[in-house]
Amino acid sequence: MKLLRVNHLGIASPALAEAMDRMDRLFGMAADHVEEVPDQRVRTAFFPVGPSTLEFLESTDPEGPVGKFLEKKGPGIHHIAFEVDDVDAAVQELLAKGVRMIDKAPRAGAHGCRIAFIHPAETGGVLMELCQSPH
């Protein structure tokens, strides 16, 4: 598996509108894409920064992963996502190495990407996402 780049940094936020206003106030930036991902129980807003993106995540369900994260840890960095050329092969490679995965098979994510998360117990406490762009 080859990591192609840091695709995005996920930031948990209790209110997406406030996060979007903050990015405008601080940096004069507007989100280039806002999307609800029902499967993950989040609404997301993306802000491109060079070849990477900041993804702000607002929970649509307090029992969802981001809702639980916010309750436990509060707002802040939720995950780092690495782009790979073949997420299926990457997941199989990690599973073959005995790596604990949250997703044993890739699933749909925002922007039409296919994603899979590595369990933070394997990464020193950092939630890491592998993603493959649809292009």
pLDDT tens figures, 90-105? 999 999 999 999 999 9
What pLDDT, on a 0 to 100 scale, did the predictor assign at position 44?
A: 96
Contact yes or no for 78/66 (Cβ under 8 A):
yes
pLDDT tens figures, 44-88? 999 999 999 999 999 999 999 999 999 999 999 999 999 999 999
Name the 3-class secondary structure at 75.
Answer: coil
**CATH number of the domain residue 17 falls in:** 3.10.180.10
For the whole model, what pTM was predicted? Answer: 0.91
Separation of CA 42 from chain center: 10
pLDDT tens figures, 1-38? 999 999 999 999 999 999 999 999 999 999 999 999 99
Contact yes or no for 122/95 (Cβ under 8 A):
no
Domain carrying residue 29: 3-132
pLDDT tens figures, 117-131? 999 999 999 999 999
In angstroms, rounded to a whole number, what is the distance separating the alpha carbons of residues 49 and 52? 5
What pLDDT, on a 0 to 100 scale, did the predictor assign at position 19?
A: 97
Q: What total number of domains does the chain contain? A: 1
Helix (H) or strand (E) holding 105: none
What pLDDT, on a 0 to 100 scale, did the predictor assign at position 111?
A: 83
